[in-house]
Amino acid sequence: MQVKDKFKTFLDVTRELNKHEIVPILYGSLGLSRIIPVDQVNDIDIVIPNIWLEAKFNKLKQIMQTLGYEQDANYPHEFVKEDINIGFEPESELEEDINKTVQELNLSVIDDAKFRELTPQDYKKIYSKTLARLTKKTKAIESKLHQLDSIS
């Protein structure tokens, strides 16, 4: 499925979420594709208020089921329909990563779907933190390999 088709799917889901007074945030590589060219978008990442992943999670599951999605057994906050995977993340984690509130994000309306989007600076913060975590993991793995080499 092409990026433009995944974005159309995001808009379809967003319109349904809007009916329940949820204004989602487009996130991940699909969101980034609205800023820079992206070769591949594997899934659709959506950020929503924490309450919908906690106290109202059963209602979120019902909303997604009305759209034909089933909950992924391995990842509770992910939903699947054919070759489309949609993952939901809590607002609090995003706010922590970008050091701003959800209300400060740009509000977009496309084809009657209302959602928020990240800025290039927001993505830079997110990817810098991800890179720092990966670098730390890589260094730990390299250290273990070095220790194993010294045993051999």
pLDDT score, position 147? 78
Q: How many CB atoms lie within 10 A of CB 23?
A: 19
pLDDT score, position 61? 96
Residue 152 has pLDDT above 70, yes or no: no
pLDDT score, position 140? 76
Query: Where is mean pLDDT largest: 46-50, 130-134, 137-141, 144-148?
Result: 46-50
Tell me 1's DSSP state: -
Tell me 44's DSSP state: E
Read off the pLDDT of each residue in 30-58 and give the average, rounded to a whole number: 94
Tell me 36's DSSP state: S
Average pLDDT, the chain: 92
State the helix-helix crossing angle for 120-151 and 91-98, rounded to 10 degrees.
Answer: 90
**Domains within the chain, CATH numbers bracketed:** 3-119 (3.30.460.40)
Read off the pLDDT of each residue in 52-66 and give the average, rounded to a whole number: 96
Q: Which tens digit of pLDDT belongs to each residue from 111-135?
A: 999 999 999 999 999 988 888 777 8
pTM: 0.85
Residue 145 has pLDDT above 90, yes or no: no
Read off the pLDDT of each residue in 22-49 and give the average, rounded to a whole number: 94
